Amino acid sequence: MNDQRAFTLVEMCIVLALLAILAQVALPAFQDFLERNQQQALYNQIARAVNHARTHAVTHRVRVELCGTHDGRSCNKDWSQGWLLREVNQLQPIAVTQLKTDRRRLQWSGFQAKIQFHSNGISPTGNGRFYSCHKQEISWQLILNRQGRLRSASSTENAEQIARCS
């Protein structure tokens, strides 16, 4: 008795067609999921960096600056490639973060291109906002006040600032 079992060509084509349809539906949702996770990771990284800078200034009783960098050694206005933390008038950085992305996600809008924290933790001229755009909308904003504290923007504030992403 030779009882063989197998799928027919028609059954295989139906399964492949169903898999193709499922992939077309699932792929955009998966890409959005990945983008949201990357945005949240960037949000956490910059919040941690600002809090680290403020903490370092207070605990070591020095003035520090946090600024965008493209090479990890010098400050510039572009935060999208990374940032560095150093004591004011010192060349040696305390911490450097280099972002591994080719998209311009992180933006800083403030009175100065860099943020300075005094030894008491205030940032009198460093107030401003970090924000990140996705699909011409603001994904998130972190707002830094003059006392050196961060807060997340509400969805209403994000909607009001949508022009920053055009």
Q: What is the pTM of this model?
A: 0.81
Q: Which candidate, 110, 101, 165, 99, places its Cα nearest to that of 133?
A: 165
| 115 neighbors 147 (Cβ within 8 angstroms) | no
pLDDT at 1: 62
- Per domain, the residue ranges of the chain are 44-165
pLDDT at 103: 60
pLDDT at 143: 93
* Strands 128-134 and 106-110, sheet pairing: antiparallel
Does residue 29 have a pLDDT over 90? no
The tens digit of pLDDT for each residue in 67-110 reads 999 888 888 998 988 999 999 988 889 999 888 765 668 889 98
Q: What percent of the chain has pLDDT over 90?
A: 45
pLDDT at 101: 66
Q: Which CATH class is domain 44-165?
A: alpha beta
Residue 109 main-chain phi, psi, to 5 deg: -130, 110
Q: Which amino acid is at 82?
A: G
In Å, what is the CA distance from 86 to each residue of 25, 28, 41?
Answer: 47, 41, 23
The tens digit of pLDDT for each residue in 149-164 reads 999 999 898 888 888 8
